[in-house]
Structure 1
Amino acid sequence: MRKVVILSFLASLLLGACGEDDYVYPNVLTDMIDLKTDHTGTGRYLITDEGTEWRIQSRTGLDGLAPDTTYRTVTMYAPLTDSEEAEKEAILYNTQLVISPVPLPESKFKEIKTDPVAIQSIWRGGNYLNLILQVKVKDQKHGYHFIENKLENKDGEQTLYLTLYHDRNNDIEGFNRKVYLSVPLWAYADKLHKGDKIVFNIHTYKEGMTSRIFYF
């Protein structure tokens, strides 16, 4: 099974020489958002789950990525133009890759691990099912993935059953760590239709094995 590793690349924020009283803080947003690279492997665009595309203001620190690739990220940025303008521009302050593998069938896993987590929030946004989790950790690497249990067709209605794979690697439950994940629902564009159901199963500290229902 392919392991998923969280990577991060932080962009430095340079402030001008101004005093506390005359500095105006920018309208900073923090979103789970797509970052798109150009043919050189440089991050050029941010694309929201609503489909708004922001061109990233030229800066250092966004090169060395795969060319012509879309990354799922949690990004702090500030719009520099109005969202209604044809050419939208934003400045990117920092960004971190989100765990977002395409779900795999149960048969691809040597062992199914569903160690518990706490749900901070979970929602359907654009082509993704987004999760912000709180996980108890200490010093071991945790493994995350999405399990495709089955795609059921009943009376013309389809239901996709997914489960969060979480292997805490026998880690001690020391302190909480925030973990960002997104299920790439675009992988089911040729299988699911509007109104089809998605049942997401997740093992939580408080509820045990529970599920949340969403619609495609």
Structure 2
Amino acid sequence: MDGFSKRFHGIVTMVTALVSLLILSACDHDFYKTGDSDLSYLHTDFVEARTNSASAFISARTDDGAQLTLQPALKTPWATKGDTVYRALLHYNKVEKGVTEPVGISPVAVLHIRLSIDLPQVPADPVTFESAWVSRNRKYLNLGLKLKTGQSSGARAVQSLGIVCNSVRRQPDGGRTFYLQLYHQQNGVPEYYSTRVFASIPLADLKEKDSIVLDINSYKGKVRKRIAF
């Protein structure tokens, strides 16, 4: 068993709290403006953003490899750990000599791959699939999804997301194909309206000639995406 397979063991990672933050953030902020508003000229990038000891964001590296210094530092309710790197979607103004003014930052769920072997079942409640792409630095497979959500009169429920691996197959060229499935549990959350969320799957353990087959249960049926490296 290689190092990748050893790290597969364990149950699926469920980012329930982060999914809640993603939904709240999407409801509170809409940076995708058009026309001549101030927001129409913003830059928007997926980043790895770092906080200082006071849990405020002070720098970010984009998926294109640009290193940004954020001035002033940006404090958010959802980033609570100091000296930590977060996966996020950053909205910022013009960059001058590597320094920029941040306008807003939203959390991106990081879904680490786990084996499905120990799970009695893999919940696959439907989502709306929008897009899947490998980041330019090839560190992440990014997903654009819409989750149906709403408020109920009962106890607050939170949806769960994760990625599980159902099998790995060796190919004649020596590469490996990982058959993945999106884990999604609605957890009783009402389905009144749709909210866009983004998630990133780390690809550090994948090598040249490896590939991914990802299955997503959507409201329109199963979506299968094939990604080669």
Using the size of structure 2 for normalisation, the TM-score is 0.74
Once the two structures are superposed, what CA deviation does each residue of 1:17-52 show, in whole Å capped at 9, x if it has no partner?
A: xxxx9x976841122221123466442211111211
1:75 pairs with 2:90: yes
2-structure distance, mates of 1:177, 1:97: 14
- SS at 2:117's partner residue? helix
CA distance in structure 1 between the partners assigned to 2:175 and 2:200 by the alignment: 24
- Alpha-carbon distance, 1:92 to partner: 1.0
Q: 2:208: which partner in 1? A: 194
Give the CA deviation at 1:72.
0.7
Mapped partners of 1:72, 1:171: distance in 2: 25
Structure 1, unpaired ranges of 5+: 11-20, 82-86
* CA distance in 2 between partners of 1:102 and 1:110 (Å): 19
Which one of 119, 129, 138 corresponds to residue 150 of structure 2? 138
Contact 1:76 1:95 (8 Å CA) reproduced: yes
Q: Label 1:88 to 1:154 Cα distance change in 2 as closer, same or farther (>3 A).
A: same
Once the 2 structures are TM-superposed, how far is the Cα of residue 108 of structure 1 from its aligned partner? 4.6
Partner of 2:223: 210
Contact 1:34–1:46 under 8 Å retained in 2: yes
Give CA deviations for 1:70-112 in whole Å, capped at 9, x if unaligned.
211122112331xxxxx41121111111111311111354531
* CA drift at 1:173: 2.4
**1:67 and 1:24 mapped to 2: Cα distance?**
31
Q: Check the 8 A contact 1:57/1:91 in 2, yes or no.
A: yes
2:30 maps to what in 1? Answer: none
Q: 1:67 to 1:108 in 2, by over 3 A?
A: farther
Residues 171, 62 of structure 1: alpha-carbon distance in 2 compared, 3 angstrom cutoff: closer
Larger RCO (CA within 8 A; separation ≥ 6): 2
The yes-or-no answer on 1:180 pairing with 2:198 is yes
- Correspondence for 1:15: none
Counterpart of 1:121 (choices 131, 135, 138) is: 131
- Percent sequence identity over matched residues? 26
Aligned AA for 1:154?
Q
Distance in 2 separating the partners of 1:58 and 1:49: 22
Q: How many residues were matched structurally? A: 195
The Cα shift of 1:209 comes to 2.0
Q: Tell me, which stretches of 5 or more residues in structure 2 are unaligned?
A: 1-10, 26-35, 152-156
1:58 aligns with 2:72: yes
Q: Give the helix-richer structure, 1 or 2.
A: 2
User: What TM-score does the superposition give when structure 1 sets the normalisation length?
Assistant: 0.78
1:100 to 110, 116, 134: 110
**Letter in structure 1 aligned against 2:228:** Y
Once the two structures are TM-superposed, the CA of residue 179 in structure 1 deviates from its matched residue by: 1.6
**Matching of residues 18-29 of structure 1 within 5 Å:** 27-29=41-43
Alignment partner for residue 169 of structure 1, among 181, 184, 187?
Answer: 187
